Structure 1
Amino acid sequence: MRRRTLLKAGLVGGALLAAAGGAAIVANRDPHRDRDAVLGAVVPALLDGALPSGGALREAAVRRCTDGVVAAIAGLAPSSQAELAQLFALLGSAPGRRLLAGVHDDWHVADTAQVGAFLQSWRQHRFDLFRGGYAALHDLVIGTWYADPDAWPAIGYAGPLPL
C-alpha cells in the first residue's frame, strides 16, 4: 500500500466516523426540547421591537407565539415536519449551535443580539440551504405572530370586519 492511498483511506474513514457521530448526536435528541429551546431564543430575536417590554407580558407573548409555531408545524406535511425536526435537532445540539449558528451560549441564555446576528447571517448566506432555514424560521414565527389577535392592536389592525 502506498502512502498516498493510506492517507486517503484515513481521511475518508475519519470523515465517515465524524458524519456517523454527528448523525448519532442528532438521532438521539429529544425533538420537543430542541424545538422549544431554539424557538425560545429565535422568537424574541425575530420579534424584537414587536414584543411587550415587560417581563411577564413578554414571556407570555413569546410562549403564545411558540405554541402557535408548534401548532403550525403540526399542520404541515410530514416531510416538512421531518425537515424542521432535523433543523431543530442540529441547532439544538451544542456542535450545531456553535458551528452552524455561531452561538456559543445555550439557547436559553443566548443574547438576543447574538441570535439576531445568527439569523441575519443565515438570511444573507451564500448557500440556499441556510437561506431556506432562515426563511422557514422567519415565516413560521412572523406568520404565527401576526395571526394572533392579541398582536393586532400593536400594529393598528382592528381585525377583520364583522360579517
Structure 2
Amino acid sequence: MRRRTFIKVGLIGGAILAAAGGAALWLKPAARDASTSEDARVVLRAVIPAILAGALPADGATRAREAALERTLAAIAALPPETRLELGELFALLAARPGRWLAGIDAWETADVEQTTRFLQHWRTHRLELFQAGYHALHDLVLGPWYADESTWPAIGYPGPPAL
C-alpha cells in the first residue's frame, strides 16, 4: 500500500468513526431514572438470585426474589436524583447488547445463577476500579434492602436490634 492511499484510508476511516460517534451521542436516549427503568428490572431479576444465593428461601423463592426486587427499587428511589440517573446508565449499559456481550450474558432474562455469578465475580476482582465500583454498587443495592427487612432476619439467625 502506498503512503497516499494509507493516509486517505486513515482520514476516511476517522471521519466515519467521528460521524458514527456523533450520531450515537445524538440518538442516545435520555438517561432514565433507575428506580423506574425496565432495564433495571431486567438486570436486577438476574443479579438478585446470584447475590442472595443461599439467603433466598427454598420454598417461595420466586416470591422472595420479586420482594427483593421491589425493595431494591424502593431503595434506589430514595437515592439522590443524580445517583439514580447514574444507576440508570449502568443498567442501560448492562441491558444493551454490547454490555451483555462484555458481561458474557446472552440475555438477562435467560441467564442462570452461575453465569451471573461469574459476571459479578469478574467485576469484583477486575483490575479496573470502575468495574469493582459497579460490582459494589450492585452488591450493596441488593443486600442493603434485603437485610433491612425484618422478614429476612430469621433466616440468618438475627433476633433484631436490642430493646432499649
The TM-score bracket by the shorter chain reads 0.7 to 0.9
Superposed CA RMSD in Å reads: 2.4
**Number of residues of Structure 1 aligned to a counterpart in Structure 2:** 159
Contact 1:26 1:90 in 2 (8 A): no
Superposed CA offset, 1:41-81 (max 9, x none): 00001111111122xx1111111111111111111121111
3-state SS of paired residue (1:51): coil
Matched, 1:61 2:61: no
- Taking a change above 3 Å as real, the CA distance of residues 27 and 155 of structure 1, as seen in their structure-2 partners, is same
Counterparts of 1:112 and 1:38, CA distance in 2:
12
Instruction: Return the match for 1:41 from 36, 39, 46.
Output: 46
Counterparts of 2:16 and 2:26, CA distance in 1:
15
Counterpart in 2 of 1:86? 89
Counterparts of 2:28 and 2:116, CA distance in 1:
21
So what's the TM-score if we normalise by structure 2?
A: 0.85
**Where does the alignment leave 5 or more consecutive residues of structure 1 unmatched?**
none
**Where does the alignment leave 5 or more consecutive residues of structure 2 unmatched?**
none
Counterpart in 1 of 2:12? 10
State the structure with more CA Rg.
2
Structure 2 counterparts to residues 10-159 of structure 1, below 5 A: 10-20=12-22, 23=25, 27=29, 32-54=37-59, 57-98=60-101, 100-104=102-106, 106-159=107-160
So what's the TM-score if we normalise by structure 1?
A: 0.85
- Taking a change above 3 Å as real, the CA distance of residues 25 and 136 of structure 1, as seen in their structure-2 partners, is farther
Task: Among all aligned residue pairs of Structure 1 and Structure 2, give the percentage whose two residues are the same amino acid.
Answer: 43
